[in-house]
Structures are given as C-alpha cells and as structure tokens.
Structure 1
Amino acid sequence: MKHLHYKTILLSFTLLHLLCTQVYSQQRNVHSFGSPTLNEFSLETYDKEPEAAAVVLYERGKNFFEMVDYRLTLIKEVHRKIKVLNAQKFEGATVEIPWYTNKSSKERVRKLQAMTHNGDLQRFVSEDKIYESDLNEYWNVTKFTFPDVKDGSILEYSYRIESPYFWGFEGWDFQEELPKIYSEFESSIPGNLVYKRSLYGSQKLDVNDVKVKNNCLDFRGTEQAAACEVSVYVMKDIPSLKEEAYMLSPDNYRSRIEYELQQITDFYGDTSYYTKTWDDVDNEFKTEKDMGRQLRYENYFQQALPQHLLGISDALERAKAVYYYIQDHFTWNNKYRIYSDIRVKEAYGEQKGNNSEINLALINALNAAQLDAKIFLSATRNTKVPNPLYPVLTDFNYVMAYVKIDNEEYILDATYKDLKFGMVPFKALNDKGRVMDFKTGSFWKSIDPEPKNLLYIKAQILVSAENDVVASVTETHSGYSEIFEKQKLNETSHALYVTGKESRLGGVEIRNLSVANENDPTKELTLDYDAVYEPEVVGDQVFIDPFFLQSEFKENPFLAEDRSFPIDFGYPRSIHYTLAITIDKSFEIERLPENKSVQLPENLGNGTMLFSQNDNTLYLRFTFALNHQSFVTEAYPTLKEFFGDVVNLQTNSFIVLRKR
C-alpha cells in the first residue's frame, strides 16, 4: 500500500537544468503595447476556470544586458495584459513593482506605462498617480492603481528595471494566483556571465528554445561584440495557483524558472565565482558582523547571567534554566532580522530585541553555561522550504538556537513567552533548517513538531426537570493547543475571551471562568467554568447535543472534489472529551446515539464515540487522534472521507429525552 504520510516534505515539482540543445517548439506570440485584439475584447468567461475573477491574456518578460551610462547593466522588461471578468471579486487593480536598493546604488524603474481599456475608451495611469514607498531597508516598491476597472476591462502595463546587480536576474513566475493564457520569458546573457537555471513546478514548457546569438552586445573599449545565449521559455493555458487548506507555502509548488549567478569573467580574463558551497557560507558566517560576530559574547553572558544558573549540575536542567531566563528577560519587538541590524549586547541591556537578537543572546547564554549551542537557520511556513541542493541564503528568514545534550537534539526559540523548552513555534514548522556548526561544518536537521498536543474536556452535566442543561467544565490544553489558546487569552480581556468562546460554541453561555497557568510555559493551561446550554424541545421530547462544549468538528475542512498539493497540518493532535450527564428522574432516555469508530489506514488517525448508561446517568467518551502531521496528495480522498465521518459523527448524534 502506498504510504499516506511523509516524513520529509515531498514537494510537487520537477527540477530541470535547462540545456542549450533543447528545442521543443517555436510557437511564440509577440504583442505590441496598447492594441488588444478583438478576441481579447470579446472574451467574457474563461472556460478552463469559470470562477476566475480575471485571466492573464498575455505576459512577456525579458532579461538582458545593455550598456547604460558606460556601465554594463541588467535590464528587466515586463509587458502584461489582464482581462477582468468579475470586477467585484477582482483584487489586482493595484500593481506593485519591487526594486532593490542599498547605500551605494539602486535599481531604477523606467518607461512605466499603464492603461485601462474599456472598448474604444482608453484611460492611462498618469505620472502623478504612480507612487514609491519603502518596504524595508533594502526594498522599495513602485505602485499604481488602474482607473475605471469594470467587468470586461483589459488592464495593460509595461515597465523596465535597470539594475546594477547581476545576481538579481531572478527569473520568472509562470504560475500565479490568476490563470494565464500565455506566459513567455526570454533571457539574453553574454558569454562572460554564467547562470545556473532551474525549472520548478508541475506545468510543462510549450516552448524551450535556447541558442547562441553572435554580436549581440557591444562593450565599450572592446574590438569585438560579445556573443549571447538567448533563451525563450513559454507556457500556455496555465492554471491558477490556488491555496488549499492545510498546505505549506504555495511558493513550494509554483511553476517558475530561477536563475542563479555562478561566475563572471571580466575584460582581463579574471573570473569571480558566485556559487557557494556550505563550507564557503560557514567561513563567511564566522566573521559576518551581523550574525557570526554576535556569537562572541560568551564572557559577557558569564558575567550577566544570574550565577546560580551556571552552577546547576545537570546539563539539561541548566539548559532549561538558561532558556526560561532569556525568554523572561526579553520582550520581542515584533521585528525579524537575519543578516542586518543585530546587536546582542545592546538588546540584552534594553531587555527587548528582534527575533535574531533574542535567540543569538540565548546561544551566547547557553555557551556561557558550558553548553555547545549553535545558530539554526530556517524559514517560516509562509515561505518556501530552503533549497537542499545548494546554499541560497535568501531562502532563510528565521533564526533559532540548536543545542545537543546527552545525544538529544533540541531546537529552541526564546522569542515567544508561551513556548516551553524544545518547542518550535507553529510558524517555523517548515520541514528542515541548517545548523551552522563552524567547527565541523554545517548540516541539515529536520524540524519536528511537539508530539503531544492535547485538548482535554471533562464535564459534569445536570439536566433539570425544567430542561435546563448546566455543565461544570474543566478544559486542559497542552502543546500547540495550549499555545493557541494562550494567544486568544493574551490578545484580549477574559470577558472578551468568554464572548469569543461563546460565539464559537454557539448557543452556550459561559460563567465563572477561572484560568490557571496562563503565564507559565512549564505547566499546562487549565480553564474551569460553568456552561449553560438550551436544548431543543419538540413537544414532550428534548434533544441534547452531547458535543455542545466542543467546536472542533462543525464542518469538514476538505470539501473540494480533488486536491493538487500535499496536506500539512503542522503537528499531530488529539482530543479527549468525557461527559457525565445526570438526568432528572422526570425524564426517560428514549434514544442514545450509536457507538461508532472511524479509522485512517496505517494507524494514522482515529475517532471513537462510546456511550454507556448507569440508571439516569449517561457517560460519553469521545477520542480523536491525528497521529501524523503531513500526508501526500494521493491521501486526500481518504482524509476527506475520514474528516467527513468525524463531522457526521458529532453533528448527527443527539440524546433524546422524553417526559415521563
């Protein structure tokens, strides 16, 4: 039997190194700006995706090199036409063009033109409606909004970016959030530059044409023009990339071509190499001021830490004590930095810092406590999994700590107050990361979630002669269930938390809430409260929903007919739900739900509902377990059926009472 789960992520892409000898087709389209075709104007629906709010009619990107102000410059040109099919649902009227900048030089957006076509009426975007704004220290954005967007509009724009950064060749996303009829990317690269190209995703090329063009580029001061490698790649009828429930970043699956600069040979024949090995990266990190040098404060932390922490004899207990001290000492400023603006000593003194400052302080503190801690580079779930084949440092956007104690490995993050020792935050559960070991060499390590994640609800329930249903409830959360519930508590007052919980449960009033261990990451979160529920009364019958205290399975999260991508829940989870229901003697129990059990193959999940009766007291025990966090795409029909059975079990199981 094909396994339904996977230990490491199985990305749905093929990796293809494109060769100059490959020529599949010559079917190219070249459109001029400002002249949509009659067929484009007459298109009212896109049959391949009738629900699409818009479709990209045509797009072409071209990257090439040109002498600008006597300097060899990378040019990136884009031309795109979009047909709006449902203006009310369309969210792409504002276009953003990001460009890179630093203190010495920057990219420039040139020759930007944009217009809205409504039949014969054309409205240009005027220059005073084009804006620039800062995204962060290194990225700015030029943006504009199309005017007069309505059903049937064709939105067309083109622009040119002039870049001094040869490493910023980037490539092309063939697949995006809108379906596309035609997408083309052309590159022209002089022979002294070498780029590695990789094609990702499940969509196939309709045109793959690579050839050499002589005399394509004149360099100032040289006698002979350079030859270029000219490549044309085309995809047609590309489906939209639709985000599905419980999946990692869509960027893992997007059909695209990426370029990576490998080497440059200058006019004197000297070659510079840009493709790095992990040994190269390790050596650079040792001296890099915003990361590697920030690990040199072991002596500082030996003085700064409370001395009793350093004297704990057991290594694991010493590590835990240091971790909880750093976690409590710092307040996160809600900023992420990874290759800049990291100053550990200053942050420790101010007791606040960004994610990297906090966790680099933790690494220094652990090393000061004679524990061998290292940087752990990773990527958050909203970005693609880091490339395992070669170093791409831009793949990483998150820093944690790694420590090995008595042959047990721990990934630590002191950024969040609620995390217990050894627990990775949900946002960082993204398959694997890189341990930066500067002594023996860095290595990959899988990111494993906390295995025990339990919601336990226990209730004593009384059903009075007046049809009142009153419950005394104890609710315990552990693992990620605890983290998410604490976040709800911390985001608002207890009164508003109760209001939100009542809304999620529907038709339940909560009274007398008390919370234990709300601010203690070492202990499970416990909630005690009373709940009042009004059952449905029809004539002399009373219908009680035994799951009125539990809102986890009100609907199936998997409703689509099929699925394109793997399923990733992030972590395994379980629910235990036990009720003791004492019923007033004025009622007789007319009907109980049937005991039921549903299973996933290979013991990957189960759900069981068991009722028993002792005189006028009923006992319900419901258990649910999802024993693995990730499943291959082919498991979707099985998962859909399983969750459907669990939802049906909970939503159609009523206790029926009748007045005597």
Structure 2
Amino acid sequence: MKKTLTLIFLLITIYSYSQETTYKFGEITANDLSFKASQIDATANAVVLYESGDSKFTVDDRNINVNTTYYFKIKIFNKEGFKHGTFSIPIYANKNNSEKVVKIKGITHNSNTKNQTHLSLNNVFTEQENTNWKSVKFTMPNLKENCIIEVSYTVVTPFKFNLTGWDFQSDIPKLSSQYKALIPGNYFYNRSLTGYLKLSLNNSTVKKHCFHVPGVMGDANCEEIVYGMKNIPAFIEEDYMTSKENFISKIKFELAESVWFDGTKKKYTTTWDAVDKEFKSDKNIGIQFKKIKYFEDLIPEEIKNIPNDLDKAKAVYTFIQDHFTWNEKYGIFKNARVKQAFEAKIGNVTEINISLINALKTVGLNTELVLSSTRNHGVPTKLYPIISDFNYVLAKVNINNTYYLLDASQKLNPFGLLPFKCLNSYGRAMDFKNDSYWVNIIPTKNNKTNLYASLVLNEDGSIHGKLRRVSTGYHALNKRIAYLKLNNDEIADDFENIFSNLTVENYTLENKNDINKPIIEVFDFVVEFDDPRKIYFNPFFGGSFQENPFKQEDRLYPVDFGFIKKYNLHFNIELPENYKIESFPKSEKYNITENGASFEINSKLIEDYKYTLQSNLTIAKDKFLNNEYNSLKKLFEHTIIAQKTPLVIKKVETN
C-alpha cells in the first residue's frame, strides 16, 4: 500500500553519493534543441529541461538575509505551452521588512544558440496583490513553438522562519530539478519531504567556518545540502481530491531553533501545551470564550427548557444560524469580536461559531472549539504545531458519548452537516481547561438520491410518466444551493433541456427551505418520439454521471469523495398490446475493493406488457487509496456504459 511520503530531518541528513548537476546560463546543447515531448510525456505542452534553486545566508549591514537564486530552462513545444513563459514571483512585506527580487535575466532561444532574444527589464513590473503581498511579473519575449527559455533571478528575504524550500513537481514534466542550500549551524530547521516521488540526489556535507557576522565574535560551520529528482512526471489535478499541496512532491523547511554566537538560544517550534496556553489568553480566541454570561439573557427560555440535550443543541444551532449573516470572511486569529458581531447580526466564521459555542455552553452543553483546515488549504501536520496550517473554526458539542461538528455560518446546512469544504480529515479540539487533542471529521453517511419513475406507453407511441426524486444529506444540500435563486419553472426547464422530446407538464418541489428534511421533487412529463415504430428510451434518465471523472492512466494520490454516497433507481413502464420490448439492460452486479463501491442492476420483463428495473450505484467509502484507483476507474467506466444502454421498444405490426 502506497502512502504519502513524509520525512522529518534534523540538521544532519542521510548521505548519498549522487552527482549534482550544474548548467551555465546562456548555453544550449544539441540535446536541448532536439528533445521531443514523446521522450517524457507525449501530452506535454512544455517540459523543464533543468531547474535549480540555491539558498545562501548573507549579511548586509549586520542584517541577515536568505538569498535564493532560481534558474529555469524550459522547452515550449506548442502555443498551449506559451503560458509557461510567463512568471509571477510572490514577495512578502510587513511594516518593518520586505522581500525583493534582484538580478532578473532571461533569454528566449529559437532554432539555434545564435537566435536569442533577451528579456528587457522594461517589461518587468510589480503588482500589489493585497496588504502584504506583491508579485513581480514578466513574460519572456519572442515565444515560438519549440523555443527554449532560460530565466534566472534572486529573491532576497529577511524572513528566515521558513527557508524557501523547493517544489520538485509542477503541472509540466521535468527532466531534472535540484535544490541546494548552505545553512549556518546557528539555524536548526525541521524538514519534510512530501509526495510519492523519491529523491535521486540527497547529499549533505559540512563546510568549516563559512558564516560570520562582522562585529560579532566567532563564526559557524555550515551544512551544505543538495536534493534532486529526475524524470519527474507532471502533477495532474483531477476530480475528487483535496489540496494538491498535500500530495505534490516538494521539500519544506521550518525554523525550529536559532543559536547565536554567544550561546543565546531561541526556539521557534512549540508544543501543543504551549499553544493551548497562548490561545487561552488570545483576544481573538480564548478571550471570546468568556462571553458566556452575555448569552445567558439572549437565549430564549423555551430553548433552555428543552429536556433532551440533542434537541436543545439543535435549537441553539438554529437560533445562532438564523440570527447571523456570514460576511464571507473566515476571521481566524484576527478580528474576532463576538459581542459586536452578535449585535450587528453579521460576522465572520470565527465570530459566528464562537457565538455558537458560548450559546451551547450557556444551556449546559459540553462544547469545544475545533481548529480546522478547508480542503483547498491542505491537511494540518500532526508532527508539531504549525498554526498557519489552520484557516477555519468549528464548534464541537458532546452529547451522550457522541460528538457533532457544527458550522452555523452556513444558512443551508442542517445540524451536523458541515460545508463540503470542511470535510478534510481532522481538526484540533480545545476548551482551554484540558489539553487539546485531534478529532476526526466524519461526514454523515445518509447521502442518497432516490429516483422513482413510473411510465405508461400509450398506443400512439407517446409516454406519460411521473418521476419522483428524493435527495438527502449532501445531495439535498447541493440541490438547495443549486436551486437557491431558481423558481419552479426554471428548474423544470433545466430538467427538460437534459432530454430531447421530453416536456414537463407539472413540477412540484417540497422542503426547499426546510433544511432538516429531504428535498422531494416530482416531475409529470410526456415524451413524444419522431418515429414511434421503434422507441429508444433511457430508463436511467441520463445516469448518475455523464462522464468518467477519472481519466489518468495512474493516479499517485488518493481519491477523496468527501462523503459516501448512493444513487438508487426504481423504474417501471407499462406497454399497450401494440408494443413489445425488444431489448433492455441486463441484470448484473459489479463490486470493487471489498465492497468499497458497487454498481448493480436488477432487470425484469413481466410477460409482454410490463418492465421493471432497479439499480444502485454505491460509493461506500469517502476515500480510496491510489492503489485502488484503476479499479474505481473501471467501475465508473462500466457504470456509465451500462447507464447508456437503452430500453428498445418496437411497435407490433398488425395485418
């Protein structure tokens, strides 16, 4: 079984004897010019022939900076690859310090080494992205098919907490990628290598007396590290995955401790015990938990007097959910003011969910805060606290040995049904009285779409039918989100547009606004055929999936559906005497990965006048490992083919 590779190093790493590669700027080889996409990936629009990063600590007027020099040599095969000739370099600044980009240079090579176009610095510009971030941007000149571009620049940063690190993998394949760093012994970094690809180069050597600060007694030895990979496939994003940052092959650094020449030490990584204590007094987290008394007079007495704890929790959740409007901000670790937000009836996620926690505590329920991360933000590491790994706050209420995770910022989510973006493995629960701990984020299992179709074929070849669709769990939530701004006529029109020759005569929708009940839809429809002598009708009404979401030959990262799901169909049709069924989908059952997913058809012809079909597609796990990918892919292929099999009805010729 393959697992995401995560390695943590101290200052000294494992030795290996692979040779590092160096390239001289401006030199193009015959191999570079003749290289074709088919040699690594026939579908590639561009390829990195070679890239490198080189980080060194420097001293400028007693200020210590980290200078990282980047070099890229990229071959662009076609016009679709021209986007890889555009660069955007993020730089960070705060009130006291700022990063900068220096020594930018670039060459576009066309046809041969003599046909060169140099990047003009007049075409390099800086764009302000937000308060703390800018981007230095430029596009390489004279891009043509099969050109080779070379780019080099240096980023100077005073922020040493996170050494630059290196992404070995990107959205195009690479022949060779290398990262090198010279780290003074004053600085101790935790290092992590994530992804599924192995290093081809992993060297570590010690350089004596390499780092000195003018005016300060003493010097330090340095560790010179070199990491490299070769023949790196492109990272292809596909449906049903969390953030690519969880799986892309890269090396990350985090400053753990610094030791100055006089022996003074400063620790940067911390423990959860220290984090718990810090958050307890934090004005945006712990202090906001002390607003419980404020909510005592706000919670209606009828809620306080509910005898059943679960019913009481649901009532409090609905009270806070109805009271607030989310301002589209998360607000984690900043700008959280519960009292002001409640009075204004608008707040960020943190303010709304801490209000929920305080309100639940007011009615005597055991409730905690959960720090979490959304799916597009990445999964938090469990190895040591990295607060930036979290970007969301949830509430956790504990009732009768069961816990419920809640987010009252979303109007359409019933009690216990988190937003899909929050279904991301686990979070960190804390109440500031006991030690914090990891808690699993387990989605609801009741996510179904049930279709009940009852049809009658008339003697003239037209079909009258009734389709009843019942959606629960996340399927119901997705319907409510889709229908939020649509009226019944618009929903019926959208349904009609899926099928040819189908007209909706009547449509009803139940529980659109009652988020605690299933969404129930009923379509009364008629279908008329151009040639009623031979009728082709799809009893699956288009099927659960229109196309296979899994297209890669292999997928190194897991498939993450977020939640388990079921699609059930109950279909029947009655025929008049002048028609008979010529062919129909056959009964079958297809299972994979120890009942992790299945597709089943039970098909039955009753005499000559009635046909019934029952079918279900079940995704019984929310996550499938990469070694289950091909089986899952085949299941979807099989399901889609089966659901495109028509019911064929032929008119009986009479003399």
Q: TM-score, normalised by structure 1?
A: 0.92
Distance 1:303 1:103 in 2: 42
Give the residue type in structure 1 aligned to 2:78.
N
Specify the alignment match of 1:7 in structure 2.
Answer: none
Structure 1 residues 536, 81: closer, same or farther in 2, change over 3 A? farther
Determine which of 281, 287, 291 is the counterpart of 2:285.
Answer: 291
Specify the alignment match of 2:109 in structure 1.
Answer: 117
Distance 2:141 2:330 in 1: 36
Determine which of 70, 85, 91 is the counterpart of 2:62.
Answer: 70
Structure 1 residues 458, 84: closer, same or farther in 2, change over 3 A? same
Deviates more, 1:77-86 or 1:606-615: 606-615
Q: Is 1:99 matched up with 2:91?
A: yes
Please state how far the C-alpha of 1:443 moved relative to its aligned partner.
0.7
Q: Is 1:603 matched up with 2:595?
A: yes
Specify the alignment match of 1:30 in structure 2.
Answer: 22
1:265-309, CA deviations, whole angstroms, 9 ceiling, x for partnerless residues?
234322111111111111111122222322222122223333432
Structure 1 residues 46, 136: closer, same or farther in 2, change over 3 A? farther
Please state how far the C-alpha of 1:167 moved relative to its aligned partner.
0.6
Structure 1 residues 348, 508: closer, same or farther in 2, change over 3 A? farther
Matched position secondary structure for 1:419: coil
Give the residue type in structure 2 aligned to 1:514.
T
Structure 1 residues 65, 339: closer, same or farther in 2, change over 3 A? same
Matched position secondary structure for 1:296: helix
Specify the alignment match of 1:446 in structure 2.
Answer: 440
Q: Is 1:148 matched up with 2:142?
A: yes
Matched position secondary structure for 2:9: coil
Distance 2:501 2:148 in 1: 48
Structure 1 residues 42, 603: closer, same or farther in 2, change over 3 A? closer
Q: Please give the residue correspondences for 1:247-396 in structure 2 after superposition, counting only pairs within 5 Å.
A: 247-396=241-390
Matched position secondary structure for 2:359: helix
Structure 1 residues 58, 500: closer, same or farther in 2, change over 3 A? farther
Structure 1 residues 161, 468: closer, same or farther in 2, change over 3 A? same
Specify the alignment match of 2:522 in structure 1.
Answer: 528
Give the residue type in structure 2 aligned to 1:597.
K
Structure 1 residues 546, 564: closer, same or farther in 2, change over 3 A? same
Specify the alignment match of 1:6 in structure 2.
Answer: none
Determine which of 150, 160, 170 is the counterpart of 1:166.
Answer: 160
Distance 1:339 1:86 in 2: 46
Specify the alignment match of 1:397 in structure 2.
Answer: 391
Structure 1 residues 230, 593: closer, same or farther in 2, change over 3 A? closer
Q: Is 1:644 matched up with 2:637?
A: yes
Matched position secondary structure for 2:297: helix
Matched position secondary structure for 1:280: helix
Please state how far the C-alpha of 1:626 moved relative to its aligned partner.
1.9
Q: Is 1:569 matched up with 2:561?
A: yes
Please state how far the C-alpha of 1:111 moved relative to its aligned partner.
2.6
1:308-332, CA deviations, whole angstroms, 9 ceiling, x for partnerless residues?
3233232211111111121122222
Q: Is 1:484 matched up with 2:487?
A: no
User: Are the aligned partners of 1:461 and 1:581 in contact in 2 as well (CA < 8 Å)?
Assistant: yes
Specify the alignment match of 1:579 in structure 2.
Answer: 571
Matched position secondary structure for 2:28: coil
Deviates more, 1:36-45 or 1:358-367: 36-45
Determine which of 484, 495, 506 is the counterpart of 1:501.
Answer: 495
Please state how far the C-alpha of 1:123 moved relative to its aligned partner.
3.7
Specify the alignment match of 1:157 in structure 2.
Answer: 151
Specify the alignment match of 1:475 in structure 2.
Answer: 469
Determine which of 205, 215, 225 is the counterpart of 1:231.
Answer: 225
Identity fraction in percent: 35
Give the residue type in structure 1 aligned to 2:632.
L
Specify the alignment match of 2:615 in structure 1.
Answer: 622
Please state how far the C-alpha of 1:81 moved relative to its aligned partner.
1.9
Distance 2:276 2:477 in 1: 34
1:439-468, CA deviations, whole angstroms, 9 ceiling, x for partnerless residues?
221111111111011101112222222222
User: Are the aligned partners of 1:211 and 1:229 in contact in 2 as well (CA < 8 Å)?
Assistant: yes
User: Are the aligned partners of 1:593 and 1:655 in contact in 2 as well (CA < 8 Å)?
Assistant: no
Please state how far the C-alpha of 1:113 moved relative to its aligned partner.
2.9
Matched position secondary structure for 1:636: helix
Distance 2:395 2:491 in 1: 33
Matched position secondary structure for 1:411: strand
Matched position secondary structure for 2:149: strand
Matched position secondary structure for 2:333: coil
Distance 2:14 2:593 in 1: 44
Structure 1 residues 536, 295: closer, same or farther in 2, change over 3 A? farther
Structure 1 residues 76, 307: closer, same or farther in 2, change over 3 A? farther
Q: Is 1:129 matched up with 2:123?
A: yes
Please state how far the C-alpha of 1:173 moved relative to its aligned partner.
1.0
User: Are the aligned partners of 2:271 and 2:385 in contact in 1 as well (CA < 8 Å)?
Assistant: yes
Please state how far the C-alpha of 1:333 moved relative to its aligned partner.
2.3
Distance 1:49 1:267 in 2: 51
1:367-405, CA deviations, whole angstroms, 9 ceiling, x for partnerless residues?
222222222112222233211221122222222111111
Distance 2:365 2:185 in 1: 50
Give the residue type in structure 1 aligned to 2:622.
Q
1:101-145, CA deviations, whole angstroms, 9 ceiling, x for partnerless residues?
223322222233344333444444444433333444443322223
Deviates more, 1:282-291 or 1:331-340: 331-340
User: Are the aligned partners of 2:501 and 2:529 in contact in 1 as well (CA < 8 Å)?
Assistant: no
Matched position secondary structure for 2:611: strand
Distance 2:131 2:363 in 1: 35
Structure 1 residues 163, 634: closer, same or farther in 2, change over 3 A? same
1:239-264, CA deviations, whole angstroms, 9 ceiling, x for partnerless residues?
11122332333222222111111111
Distance 1:648 1:426 in 2: 29
Distance 2:13 2:372 in 1: 37
User: Are the aligned partners of 1:333 and 1:353 in contact in 2 as well (CA < 8 Å)?
Assistant: yes
Determine which of 160, 169, 172 is the counterpart of 1:178.
Answer: 172
Deviates more, 1:394-403 or 1:332-341: 332-341
Matched position secondary structure for 2:637: helix
Please state how far the C-alpha of 1:15 moved relative to its aligned partner.
2.0
Determine which of 539, 547, 556 is the counterpart of 1:546.
Answer: 539
1:6-51, CA deviations, whole angstroms, 9 ceiling, x for partnerless residues?
xxxx742242526636332252222233333343233342512111
Specify the alignment match of 2:422 in structure 1.
Answer: 428
Structure 1 residues 101, 94: closer, same or farther in 2, change over 3 A? same
1:504-531, CA deviations, whole angstroms, 9 ceiling, x for partnerless residues?
4565443433222212211111112223
Give the residue type in structure 2 aligned to 1:544.
F
Q: TM-score, normalised by structure 2?
A: 0.93
Specify the alignment match of 2:512 in structure 1.
Answer: 518
Matched position secondary structure for 2:144: coil
Specify the alignment match of 1:407 in structure 2.
Answer: 401
5+ unaligned residues in a row in structure 2: which ranges?
A: none
User: Are the aligned partners of 2:581 and 2:608 in contact in 1 as well (CA < 8 Å)?
Assistant: no
User: Are the aligned partners of 1:11 and 1:252 in contact in 2 as well (CA < 8 Å)?
Assistant: no
User: Are the aligned partners of 1:18 and 1:199 in contact in 2 as well (CA < 8 Å)?
Assistant: no
Matched position secondary structure for 2:66: strand
Specify the alignment match of 1:5 in structure 2.
Answer: none
Q: Is 1:206 matched up with 2:200?
A: yes
Distance 2:584 2:212 in 1: 86
Deviates more, 1:527-536 or 1:380-389: 527-536
User: Are the aligned partners of 2:461 and 2:529 in contact in 1 as well (CA < 8 Å)?
Assistant: yes
User: Are the aligned partners of 1:572 and 1:628 in contact in 2 as well (CA < 8 Å)?
Assistant: yes
User: Are the aligned partners of 1:591 and 1:657 in contact in 2 as well (CA < 8 Å)?
Assistant: no
User: Are the aligned partners of 2:4 and 2:196 in contact in 1 as well (CA < 8 Å)?
Assistant: yes
Q: Is 1:456 matched up with 2:430?
A: no
Please state how far the C-alpha of 1:572 moved relative to its aligned partner.
1.1
